[in-house]
Amino acid sequence: MSVPGRFAARARSGTVASMTSPHDPYVFPGRWLAGTSLVLGPVLLLAGVLLRVRFDFFFPDQLAAYDEYPVLMTLSYSAFAAGAVVTAPAVVALAVRVGAAERWWAAVGGTLTLVGLFARTFHAGVDHLAFELVGTLGRNAAVSAVADSYQGFHIFQYVSFAIMLGWIVLAVGAFRSRVLGPPRCVALALMSALPLGVLKGTTPLSIVAVAGLCVALVPLGARILLDGPRPTRRAAARFALAAALVVVLGFVSSLG
């Protein structure tokens, strides 16, 4: 059987060994990044949603919450922003598996979902600026500034549909390709119900949506990480060196 045929067979059977064989071509994001992203991304998103569950939904209440609990709200919004970024390789990994059997659904669903994650990252940047205004101008001035500019132009306002639609299309592709079972496909599609926009708090639907993402993706990520051989000592040493380098680069980047 050819490599593409072998890959498609594995996707349909639900196995995740397609990125572990030395005879198969490398497919981004690879086993370790894919598995880690599938597990960590949804967990970070859920943590971000839960950390602000006690506060009301709309932006004046979110700014007031930051004014009173800056550390908690910073943790919440930072976890959510990081989760959106970390989930991107997970979407690519899922789309690759779907594409082995359903190329159209993988291409459209993966693209829309990634664009939606990029839009949420843009919203996170606006959230950060709004919180900084609380510290520099005061809560009331920050609320007025956000209210006056809430309908201001930005390029990502034209792709809000992708934030919701992408997960549904990707879930249909996962169902048609049998990469995920029906219950987990439904759980994946629930992510389309997560509220979008700037300075959005948590609703019961928010928790259901992100919990559904965890149900859909975390088991797949765990299977990818556990499937195949363990890393060699040489590979572990290279990973430790790379991780240390990332920490150093991160510190240097924070200096200016």
Contacts of residue 210, Cβ cutoff 8 Å, sequence gap at least 6: 42, 45, 46, 49, 191, 194
Q: Is the pTM of this model over 0.85?
A: yes
What's the confidence (pLDDT) of residue 235?
A: 81
Q: What percent of the chain has pLDDT over 90?
A: 79
What's the confidence (pLDDT) of residue 151?
A: 87
What's the confidence (pLDDT) of residue 4?
A: 47
Of the listed ranges 21-25, 90-94, 116-120, the least confidently predicted one is: 21-25
For 103-124, what is the mean pLDDT? Answer: 98
pLDDT band with cut points at 50, 70 and 90 for residue 5: low
Number of domains in the chain: 1
SS3 91: helix
Domain of 212, in residue numbers: 3-254
pLDDT band with cut points at 50, 70 and 90 for residue 229: confident
Helix 70-99 vs helix 103-137: crossing angle, to nearest 10: 170
